[in-house]
Amino acid sequence: MNRAMAVVLIGLLGCWLASPAGAQEKPAPPPKKAVEPGKGKAKNKGTKPPAKVPETPKTPPAPGKDLLILFPATGDVALADLITNINAEIFMVADGAGRFTIINPDELGESLMMDAAEALSFCNEEPGCIADIGKDRGAKWICFGDIKYSFDKTKVIAHLVLVDVVARKVSVEKFGQIEKEKNVVLEAGNVMRDLLGIPRPQPKTPPPVAKGPEDKAPEEKASETALAVKVVAPPPPPPRSRWANPWFWTTLGVGVAAGAAGGTLGYLSYAKLDDAKASADQPTAYPLVQDSKKYALGANILFGVAGGAAIGALLILLLDNPEQDPTPVPAVTPTVTPTGSGVGASLLFSF
C-alpha cells in the first residue's frame, strides 16, 4: 500500500515539473558590447577603413544667372552622329547666351530614384512631372528635345522645349523643319536661339572686290550703254476701199444664203401642190397640200431674212467712210545699235 502511494506521488511530481507553471525560465545572456573602431579584435594595424564613393560635384549657380538643366536631345538611330553634333551646338548656344548656369543631368542622380534620362522619359513630356526633376536642385529651367526625320525623309525636325520649374509649365516650345541640303547643325542651333530668345547670327557677306572692265557683269555693262530716243514717222497707209469692209460682205453673204434656202423651199412647196392636184382622191391630196403650205411658210420667212440682209449690206456700203478711220496709236520700238564706246539703244515711236 505504501509503495503504491509512493508511485502515485512521484507521477504527480513529474507532471507538475513538466507543466509551464513549473518550468523555470533560463536567464537571458547579457548583451554584447559594440566593438568601437580601433579597439578589441577589430583592431588591425594593417587594415584601412573602406573609402566612401565620391559624389558628383554640384555646379554652383553663378551670380545673376539662372540654373538650366540641359538634357541632350534624343532622336532616331539613323541620326546618331548628327545628333551628337547638334547637342554640342545646342550647348554652345545656351552657354554663349550668358544668362544661364548649365547643370549636367548626371548631377541629379542623388535626388532622384532613377537615372535622370529615365526620369525624363518616365514623365512623358508632362510639365509638372518634369519640373519635379529639377525642383530639389534649385533649377529655374529645364530644356529637352528630340531630333527626327520627317515622314518623307527630306527634312530634319528639331523639337525643343523649355520648362519653367517654378511655374510647372512649358514656357516655350519650338519646331524647326530643316532641309537636308542645308547645314542641319547650324539650323538646329538657330532653333535653340529662337527658344531662348537669342537673335540669329546674320549671314556673312564677302567684301566687295574691285573688278576690271573685262570682269564686269552683263548688267553693269548694260547700265553703261547710251540711250537715244528717235521719233520716226512711218509712211501713211494707203487709203482703204469701202468694198473692203468685212461687215458688208458678211451681211451680203447671209442674205444670199437665206435667199437660196428660201428658193429651195418655194420649189418644194410648188412640187407638193402639183402632186396634190394630180392625186385621184381627196384623202391622198390633203397631206400634200399641208406639206406645201409648210414649205411656203418657210420660204417666205427666208425671203424676208434675205431681203433684210440685202438692205443692211446696202446701208453699210453707203454709210461706210474710210476717211474717218481712228488715228493709230503711237508705237514705241526699242532698237540697240553698237556705238564707238559701247552699245547704243534707241526707241522708235510709230504713229
Would you say residue 182 has pLDDT above 60? Answer: yes
Q: Assess whether pLDDT exceeds 70 at residue 313.
A: yes
Distance (Å, whole) CA 120 – CA 133 = 8
Look at residues 209, 215, 309 and name the one whose alpha carbon lies nearest to residue 255: 309
Beta-strand ranges (E) seen in 21-86 are: 66-70, 74-75
By the 8 A CB rule, do 130 and 144 touch?
A: yes
Say if residues 112 and 184 touch (Cβ distance below 8 Å): no
101 and 61 Cβ atoms separated by less than 8 Å: yes
* DSSP code string of 169-181: EEEEEEEEEEETT
pLDDT in tens, 77-107: 888 888 899 989 999 999 888 889 888 887 7
Give CA 121 to chain center in angstroms: 28
Of the two residues 321 and 1, the one the predictor is more confident about is: 321
Q: What residues contact 167, with CB distance under 8 A and at least 6 apart?
A: 131
Q: Using 50, 70 and 90 to split pLDDT, how confident is the model at 319? A: confident
326 contact partners, CB below 8 Å, separation of at least 6: none
Q: Lowest-pLDDT range, 112-116, 236-240, 268-272?
A: 236-240
What is the model's pLDDT at position 41? 42
Residue 323 near residue 340 (C-beta atoms within 8 A): no
Q: Give the position of cell 381627196.
A: 282
> How far is it, in rounded angstroms, from Cα 351 to Cα 345?
20
Q: Which of 122-126, 220-224, 345-349 has the lowest mean pLDDT?
A: 345-349
141 with 100: CB under 8 angstroms? Answer: yes
Least-confidence region, from 109-123, 127-141, 259-273, 316-330: 316-330
**Contact yes or no for 138/67 (Cβ under 8 A):** yes
Which residue type is seen at 34?
A
β-pairing, 343-350 vs 226-231, is parallel
- The C-alpha atoms of residue 175 and residue 145 are separated, in whole angstroms, by 10
Mean pLDDT of 229-234: 56
**Mapping DSSP to helix (H, G, I), strand (E, B) and coil, where does residue 161 land?**
strand
State how far the Cα of 232 lies from the Cα of 237, in Å rounded to an integer: 15
Lowest mean pLDDT among 38-42, 59-63, 106-110, 123-127: 38-42
- Average pLDDT in the chain: 74
Q: What's the rounded mean pLDDT across residues 131-153? A: 87
Domain 66-196 of CATH type 2.60.40.1120: no
